[in-house]
């Protein structure tokens, strides 16, 4: 039998050489058809062009619809203020201003209640006390004038310290409220002021202590430099004068980079105190570790936000000074040449003081709102650093998903050791049902 007679079509059933039947092969699909369910093409053969393996078989892929997201990738969730991923410059600059808009009753209200109004009241009381002391010193007799002038200096120092203490205490309160608000807004929660106060009230003492210690440390550093300058100047002679000038120049220039370095490295302390509930020493170490490797990025964003807030504040407050000068000229145009110069000068002084008082009120309100923006920016930087270095974004996503499914999960901002505590219970007024 020739080879042509023994030849059979592939897949056909026939006798094998020797009279034995050949193993049966499954029929091959025609072009454009799929094999039956669960059947794969024989080894060495490919799936027909334009077809894919049946569902559940190796090589199966979910069909891709044009315009849809890539299979296997989804954008990070954004339940609230920011997307839950490491942040770029745009969200870091925009989110502090969005925080004012998302919950203005808390942010703007806290700024006015905790910093604006106390600053205005303290400034008014201190100005009245200084005016009283100056009036007594001017109207006193020549014999009592040295005593009255010493009392004026001492009273001014005491009033300055009192103003610093009041400003420090209320700034610490505002920091705690804004840090808590930004952290909960990131998770999509919208707390009332009472609920937010319950969240941060246990950390207020540590915040006030840290703020006062930090301010006192810089006051002591400046006082030491000033004391060295005065001591060298009192020595007299050319050497003392040159030494005082050198210490003043070197000390002043040296304190600038030192202040930038220390303030940037310790910028995360309030956030660590409030959100991680750490002690002062632990919060300082925590801030130092978080900013390691990200110093220039942290400093650049804080400085940029500060420049923006300063520009906005000056844009609003400078016109009041210009208007005050113009109003003084309108109400007392001939104050210097008038026969009754005392009356004209009193009118000019009253007008100027009124405009300056209004400018101080507006500046205090705008400054309080600016403090909210700066505190919110630092809080977001703290969250961003923890996302980059510790994977906090995964903890936040897990918390948000668990909250949506009714699970009880610990507070995601607590350190890992503290997350073994009982599940986080939202304060009353959190804006979402408890799990």
Task: Return left, alpha or beta for 50; rule: phi > 0 is left, psi -120 to 50 is alpha, else beta.
Answer: left
Nearest to 261 by CA among 225, 288, 301: 288
Please count the CA atoms within 13 angstroms of the CA of 430 that sit on its side-chain side: 19
pLDDT of residue 356: 66
Which pTM was predicted?
0.71
Neighbours of 388 (CB within 10 A): 17
Instruction: Report the distance separating Cα 313 and Cα 311, nearest Å.
Output: 5
User: What is the residue whose two structure tokens read 């700034």?
Assistant: 171
Tens digit of each residue's pLDDT (9 = 90 or more) over 219-232 = 898 888 888 888 88
Average of per-residue pLDDT values in the chain: 76
Instruction: Report the distance separating Cα 186 and Cα 176, nearest Å.
Output: 16
pLDDT of residue 327: 62
User: What is the residue whose two structure tokens read 């930038």?
Assistant: 260
Query: Which residues, 6+ apart, have CB-to-CB distance to 286 below 8 Å?
Result: 268, 269, 272, 276, 278
User: What is the residue whose two structure tokens read 């007594």?
Assistant: 136
Tens digit of each residue's pLDDT (9 = 90 or more) over 101-121 = 888 888 888 888 887 777 777
Instruction: Report the distance separating Cα 373 and Cα 396, nearest Å.
Output: 23
Produce one character per residue of 55-71: b if its CB has 16 or more CB atoms within 10 Å, e if not.
Answer: eeeeeeeeeeeeeeeee
Tens digit of each residue's pLDDT (9 = 90 or more) over 186-239 = 998 888 888 888 888 888 889 999 998 998 898 898 888 888 888 888 887 777
DSSP 352-372: HHHHHHHHHHHHHHHHHHHHH
């Amino acid at each position: 039998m020739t080879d042509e007679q023994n030849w059979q079509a592939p897949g056909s059933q026939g006798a094998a050489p020797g009279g034995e039947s050949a193993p049966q092969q499954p029929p091959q699909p025609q072009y454009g058809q799929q094999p039956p369910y669960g059947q794969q093409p024989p080894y060495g053969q490919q799936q027909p062009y334009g077809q894919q393996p049946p569902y559940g078989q190796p090589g199966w892929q979910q069909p891709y619809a044009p315009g849809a997201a890539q299979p296997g990738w989804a954008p990070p969730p954004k339940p609230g203020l920011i997307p839950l991923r490491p942040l770029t410059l745009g969200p870091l600059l925009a989110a502090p201003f969005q925080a004012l808009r998302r919950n203005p009753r808390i942010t703007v209200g806290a700024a006015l209640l905790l910093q604006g109004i106390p600053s205005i009241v303290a400034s008014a009381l201190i100005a009245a006390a200084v005016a009283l002391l100056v009036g007594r010193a001017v109207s006193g007799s020549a014999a009592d004038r040295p005593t009255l002038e010493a009392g004026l200096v001492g009273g001014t120092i005491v009033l300055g310290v009192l103003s610093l203490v009041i400003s420090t205490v209320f700034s610490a309160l505002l920091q705690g409220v804004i840090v808590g608000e930004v952290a909960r807004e990131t998770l999509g929660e919208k707390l009332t002021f009472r609920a937010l106060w319950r969240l941060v009230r246990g950390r207020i003492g540590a915040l006030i202590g840290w703020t006062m210690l930090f301010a006192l440390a810089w006051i002591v550093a400046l006082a030491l430099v000033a004391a060295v300058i005065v001591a060298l100047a009192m020595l007299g002679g050319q050497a003392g004068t040159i030494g005082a000038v050198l210490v003043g120049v070197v000390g002043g220039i040296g304190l600038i980079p030192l202040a930038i370095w220390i303030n940037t490295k310790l910028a995360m302390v309030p956030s660590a105190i409030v959100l991680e509930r750490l002690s002062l020493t632990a919060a300082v170490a925590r801030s130092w570790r978080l900013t390691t490797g990200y110093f220039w990025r942290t400093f650049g964003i804080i400085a940029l936000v500060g420049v923006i807030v300063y520009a906005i504040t000056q844009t609003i407050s400078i016109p009041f000074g210009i208007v005050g000068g113009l109003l003084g000229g309108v109400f007392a145009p001939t104050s210097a040449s008038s026969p009754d110069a005392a009356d004209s000068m009193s009118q000019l002084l009253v007008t100027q003081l009124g405009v300056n008082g209004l400018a101080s009120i507006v500046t205090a309100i705008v400054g309080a709102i600016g403090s909210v923006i700066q505190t919110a920016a630092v809080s977001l930087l703290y969250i961003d650093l923890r996302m980059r270095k510790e994977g906090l974004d995964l903890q936040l996503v897990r918390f948000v998903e668990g909250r949506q499914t009714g699970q009880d999960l610990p507070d995601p901002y607590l350190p890992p050791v503290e997350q073994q505590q009982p599940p986080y219970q939202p304060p009353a007024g959190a804006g979402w049902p408890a799990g």
